[in-house]
Chains A and B, each alone.
Chain A
Amino acid sequence: DAEITQSPRHKITETGRQVTLACHQTWNHNNMFWYRQDLGHGLRLIHYSYGVQDTNKGEVSDGYSVSRSNTEDLPLTLESAASSQTSVYFCASSASGANVLTFGAGSRLTVL
Protein backbone atom coordinates (compact mmCIF):
# COMPACT_ATOMS: atom_id res chain seq x y z
CA ASP A 1 0.00 0.00 0.00
CA ALA A 2 1.14 3.53 -0.74
CA GLU A 3 2.08 5.57 2.28
CA ILE A 4 3.74 8.71 3.53
CA THR A 5 6.44 8.17 6.14
CA GLN A 6 8.00 10.71 8.47
CA SER A 7 11.18 10.26 10.49
CA PRO A 8 12.14 10.60 13.20
CA ARG A 9 8.80 10.43 15.00
CA HIS A 10 10.29 12.07 18.07
CA LYS A 11 13.40 14.20 18.43
CA ILE A 12 14.92 16.29 21.18
CA THR A 13 17.64 18.74 20.21
CA GLU A 14 19.42 21.79 21.56
CA THR A 15 19.12 25.41 20.53
CA GLY A 16 21.37 26.25 17.61
CA ARG A 17 21.68 22.76 16.19
CA GLN A 18 20.72 21.90 12.64
CA VAL A 19 17.85 19.42 12.39
CA THR A 20 16.45 17.60 9.37
CA LEU A 21 13.04 15.94 9.35
CA ALA A 22 12.51 13.39 6.60
CA CYS A 23 9.36 12.84 4.57
CA HIS A 24 9.03 10.00 2.05
CA GLN A 25 5.89 9.19 0.06
CA THR A 26 5.15 6.28 -2.24
CA TRP A 27 1.91 7.74 -3.67
CA ASN A 28 3.85 9.21 -6.62
CA HIS A 29 2.28 12.57 -5.75
CA ASN A 30 3.77 15.68 -7.33
CA ASN A 31 2.68 18.03 -4.52
CA MET A 32 4.27 17.88 -1.08
CA PHE A 33 3.77 20.13 1.94
CA TRP A 34 5.20 20.72 5.39
CA TYR A 35 2.99 22.02 8.21
CA ARG A 36 3.54 22.66 11.87
CA GLN A 37 0.74 22.20 14.40
CA ASP A 38 0.66 24.14 17.64
CA LEU A 39 -2.04 24.56 20.27
CA GLY A 40 -4.02 27.69 19.53
CA HIS A 41 -2.65 28.01 16.00
CA GLY A 42 -3.81 24.91 14.20
CA LEU A 43 -1.94 23.79 11.08
CA ARG A 44 0.37 26.37 9.55
CA LEU A 45 2.07 25.92 6.19
CA ILE A 46 5.87 26.09 6.26
CA HIS A 47 7.01 25.14 2.74
CA TYR A 48 5.57 23.32 -0.23
CA SER A 49 6.64 21.87 -3.56
CA TYR A 50 4.72 21.18 -6.76
CA GLY A 51 7.40 19.00 -8.29
CA VAL A 52 11.09 18.17 -8.54
CA GLN A 53 13.30 21.25 -8.10
CA ASP A 54 10.26 23.38 -7.17
CA THR A 55 9.99 24.83 -3.65
CA ASN A 56 7.86 27.64 -2.24
CA LYS A 57 7.56 29.45 1.07
CA GLY A 58 4.46 29.17 3.19
CA GLU A 59 3.19 31.47 5.90
CA VAL A 60 5.79 30.50 8.56
CA SER A 61 8.93 29.72 6.53
CA ASP A 62 11.53 31.75 8.48
CA GLY A 63 14.21 29.44 9.90
CA TYR A 64 13.21 26.49 7.69
CA SER A 65 14.31 25.24 4.30
CA VAL A 66 13.37 22.38 1.96
CA SER A 67 14.78 20.83 -1.19
CA ARG A 68 13.10 18.53 -3.71
CA SER A 69 15.53 16.36 -5.65
CA ASN A 70 13.08 13.56 -6.48
CA THR A 71 9.34 12.92 -6.43
CA GLU A 72 9.31 10.85 -3.24
CA ASP A 73 11.16 13.03 -0.72
CA LEU A 74 10.84 16.50 0.77
CA PRO A 75 13.18 16.89 3.77
CA LEU A 76 12.63 19.85 6.09
CA THR A 77 15.73 21.46 7.57
CA LEU A 78 15.87 23.75 10.57
CA GLU A 79 19.14 25.61 10.04
CA SER A 80 19.60 26.68 13.67
CA ALA A 81 16.91 25.29 15.92
CA ALA A 82 15.12 27.68 18.27
CA SER A 83 12.80 26.96 21.19
CA SER A 84 9.99 28.58 19.21
CA GLN A 85 10.31 25.72 16.73
CA THR A 86 9.22 23.15 19.30
CA SER A 87 6.15 21.72 17.60
CA VAL A 88 4.60 18.77 15.84
CA TYR A 89 5.50 18.73 12.17
CA PHE A 90 3.34 17.10 9.51
CA CYS A 91 4.28 16.25 5.97
CA ALA A 92 1.48 15.91 3.43
CA SER A 93 1.14 15.16 -0.25
CA SER A 94 -1.44 15.44 -3.01
CA ALA A 95 -1.75 14.45 -6.63
CA SER A 96 -1.46 16.97 -9.43
CA GLY A 97 -4.83 18.57 -10.07
CA ALA A 98 -6.09 17.62 -6.60
CA ASN A 99 -6.47 19.57 -3.39
CA VAL A 100 -7.01 16.67 -0.99
CA LEU A 101 -4.03 16.10 1.28
CA THR A 102 -2.71 12.81 2.61
CA PHE A 103 -0.79 13.35 5.84
CA GLY A 104 2.04 11.53 7.52
CA ALA A 105 1.89 10.55 11.19
CA GLY A 106 3.90 13.56 12.33
CA SER A 107 7.29 14.30 13.88
CA ARG A 108 7.34 15.74 17.38
CA LEU A 109 10.33 18.06 17.82
CA THR A 110 11.47 19.51 21.13
CA VAL A 111 14.14 22.21 21.14
CA LEU A 112 15.75 22.74 24.55
Chain B
Amino acid sequence: QKEVEQDPGPLSVPEGAIVSLNCTYSNSAFQYFMWYRQYSRKGPELLMYTYSSGNKEDGRFTAQVDKSSKYISLFIRDSQPSDSATYLCAMSALTGANSKLTFGKGITLSVRP
Protein backbone atom coordinates (compact mmCIF):
# COMPACT_ATOMS: atom_id res chain seq x y z
CA GLN B 1 0.00 0.00 0.00
CA LYS B 2 1.34 3.42 -0.96
CA GLU B 3 1.83 5.84 1.92
CA VAL B 4 -0.39 8.43 0.24
CA GLU B 5 -3.26 7.61 -2.10
CA GLN B 6 -5.03 10.21 -4.17
CA ASP B 7 -8.01 9.78 -6.49
CA PRO B 8 -6.46 9.57 -9.98
CA GLY B 9 -9.10 11.56 -11.87
CA PRO B 10 -9.26 13.43 -14.13
CA LEU B 11 -12.17 15.46 -12.84
CA SER B 12 -14.33 17.77 -14.94
CA VAL B 13 -16.93 20.08 -13.38
CA PRO B 14 -19.04 23.03 -14.57
CA GLU B 15 -18.16 26.53 -13.43
CA GLY B 16 -19.67 27.31 -10.04
CA ALA B 17 -19.60 23.72 -8.80
CA ILE B 18 -18.27 22.69 -5.41
CA VAL B 19 -15.21 20.48 -5.85
CA SER B 20 -13.97 17.93 -3.34
CA LEU B 21 -10.46 16.51 -3.69
CA ASN B 22 -9.31 13.79 -1.34
CA CYS B 23 -6.25 11.89 -0.15
CA THR B 24 -5.84 9.01 2.24
CA TYR B 25 -2.65 8.02 3.98
CA SER B 26 -1.31 5.14 6.02
CA ASN B 27 1.47 6.71 8.11
CA SER B 28 -0.03 7.80 11.43
CA ALA B 29 3.07 9.93 12.11
CA PHE B 30 2.08 12.49 9.47
CA GLN B 31 1.22 15.79 11.14
CA TYR B 32 1.76 18.42 8.44
CA PHE B 33 -0.58 18.43 5.47
CA MET B 34 -0.38 20.51 2.32
CA TRP B 35 -2.11 21.01 -0.98
CA TYR B 36 -0.11 22.15 -3.97
CA ARG B 37 -1.60 23.46 -7.20
CA GLN B 38 0.23 22.92 -10.48
CA TYR B 39 -0.75 24.67 -13.66
CA SER B 40 0.15 23.07 -16.97
CA ARG B 41 3.91 23.21 -17.69
CA LYS B 42 4.60 25.00 -14.39
CA GLY B 43 6.02 23.94 -11.04
CA PRO B 44 3.75 23.13 -8.09
CA GLU B 45 2.94 26.01 -5.77
CA LEU B 46 1.71 25.82 -2.20
CA LEU B 47 -2.04 26.39 -1.90
CA MET B 48 -2.94 25.32 1.64
CA TYR B 49 -0.98 24.25 4.74
CA THR B 50 -2.47 22.68 7.86
CA TYR B 51 -1.05 21.16 11.00
CA SER B 52 -2.75 18.22 12.69
CA SER B 53 -6.54 17.82 12.51
CA GLY B 54 -9.15 20.43 11.74
CA ASN B 55 -10.22 22.83 9.03
CA LYS B 56 -8.52 25.81 7.43
CA GLU B 57 -10.24 28.25 5.13
CA ASP B 58 -8.72 30.66 2.63
CA GLY B 59 -11.20 32.39 0.37
CA ARG B 60 -12.94 29.78 -1.77
CA PHE B 61 -10.63 27.02 -0.54
CA THR B 62 -11.04 24.87 2.58
CA ALA B 63 -8.58 22.23 3.70
CA GLN B 64 -9.84 19.56 6.06
CA VAL B 65 -7.80 16.99 7.98
CA ASP B 66 -9.23 13.97 9.79
CA LYS B 67 -6.31 12.21 11.43
CA SER B 68 -8.51 9.55 13.02
CA SER B 69 -9.56 8.41 9.54
CA LYS B 70 -6.20 9.30 7.92
CA TYR B 71 -8.07 11.38 5.36
CA ILE B 72 -7.55 14.89 4.04
CA SER B 73 -9.72 16.93 1.71
CA LEU B 74 -9.59 20.14 -0.27
CA PHE B 75 -12.88 21.84 -1.05
CA ILE B 76 -13.20 24.50 -3.72
CA ARG B 77 -16.38 26.57 -3.65
CA ASP B 78 -17.75 28.43 -6.66
CA SER B 79 -15.13 26.83 -8.89
CA GLN B 80 -13.72 28.96 -11.72
CA PRO B 81 -12.03 28.06 -15.01
CA SER B 82 -8.85 29.51 -13.49
CA ASP B 83 -8.96 26.65 -10.94
CA SER B 84 -8.22 24.20 -13.77
CA ALA B 85 -4.92 22.61 -12.70
CA THR B 86 -3.43 19.52 -11.14
CA TYR B 87 -3.79 19.35 -7.35
CA LEU B 88 -1.29 17.37 -5.29
CA CYS B 89 -1.61 16.52 -1.64
CA ALA B 90 1.58 16.31 0.39
CA MET B 91 2.37 15.46 3.97
CA SER B 92 5.23 14.98 6.40
CA ALA B 93 5.82 13.77 9.91
CA LEU B 94 8.34 16.41 10.83
CA THR B 95 9.42 19.91 10.10
CA GLY B 96 13.02 20.95 9.65
CA ALA B 97 15.76 18.42 8.95
CA ASN B 98 14.51 15.02 7.77
CA SER B 99 11.14 16.54 6.91
CA LYS B 100 10.82 15.14 3.39
CA LEU B 101 7.37 15.46 1.92
CA THR B 102 5.41 12.49 0.65
CA PHE B 103 3.22 13.44 -2.31
CA GLY B 104 0.05 11.99 -3.74
CA LYS B 105 0.09 11.38 -7.49
CA GLY B 106 -2.11 14.39 -8.18
CA ILE B 107 -5.52 14.84 -9.73
CA THR B 108 -6.19 17.02 -12.76
CA LEU B 109 -9.23 19.27 -12.43
CA SER B 110 -10.94 20.94 -15.38
CA VAL B 111 -13.60 23.59 -14.73
CA ARG B 112 -15.84 24.11 -17.78
CA PRO B 113 -17.12 27.66 -18.43
Q: Which residues of chain A have a CB within 8 Å of any CB of chain B?
A: 33, 40-43, 45, 48, 50, 58, 90, 92, 96-106
4 closest residue pairs by CB, A with B = A103-B43, A42-B105, A99-B99, A97-B96
Asked if A97 meets B103 with Cβ closer than 8 Å, knowing A42-B88, A105-B43, A106-B42, the reply is no
A48-B100, A92-B43, A103-B44 given; name 6 further pairs at CB < 8 Å.
A43-B44, A43-B88, A98-B99, A99-B95, A101-B46, A106-B42
Interface of chain B: mostly helix, strand, loop or mixed = loop
Closest CB-CB distance, A22 to chain B, in whole Å? 15
Residue in chain B with minimal CB distance to A35: B103
Across the interface, B44 reaches (CB within 8 A) one of A58, A90, A97, A98, namely: A90
Closest CB-CB distance, A24 to chain B, in whole Å? 14
Q: List 12 A-B contacts (CB under 8 A).
A: A42-B88, A42-B103, A42-B104, A43-B103, A43-B106, A50-B97, A96-B96, A98-B96, A99-B32, A100-B34, A103-B43, A103-B45
Q: In the complex, what distance in Å separates the CA atom of A99 from the CA atom of B90?
A: 10
Interface of chain A: mostly helix, strand, loop or mixed = loop
Q: Does B94 contact A (CB under 8 A)?
A: yes
Asked if A42 meets B106 with Cβ closer than 8 Å, knowing A96-B96, A97-B96, A101-B101, the reply is yes
Chain A hits for B44, CB < 8 A: 43, 90, 101, 103
Across the interface, B96 reaches (CB within 8 A) one of A42, A99, A104, namely: A99
Residue in chain B with minimal CB distance to A100: B46
Chain A hits for B97, CB < 8 A: 50, 96
Residue pair B43, A104 in contact (C-beta under 8 Å): yes
Chain B hits for A48, CB < 8 A: 100
Across the interface, B101 reaches (CB within 8 A) one of A41, A96, A97, A99, namely: A99
Chain A hits for B32, CB < 8 A: 99
Q: Does B92 contact A (CB under 8 A)?
A: yes
Residue pair A98, B41 in contact (C-beta under 8 Å): no
Closest CB-CB distance, A23 to chain B, in whole Å? 11
Q: In the complex, what distance in Å separates the CA atom of A80 from the CA atom of B74?
A: 41
Asked if A100 meets B96 with Cβ closer than 8 Å, knowing A105-B42, A106-B42, A106-B43, the reply is no
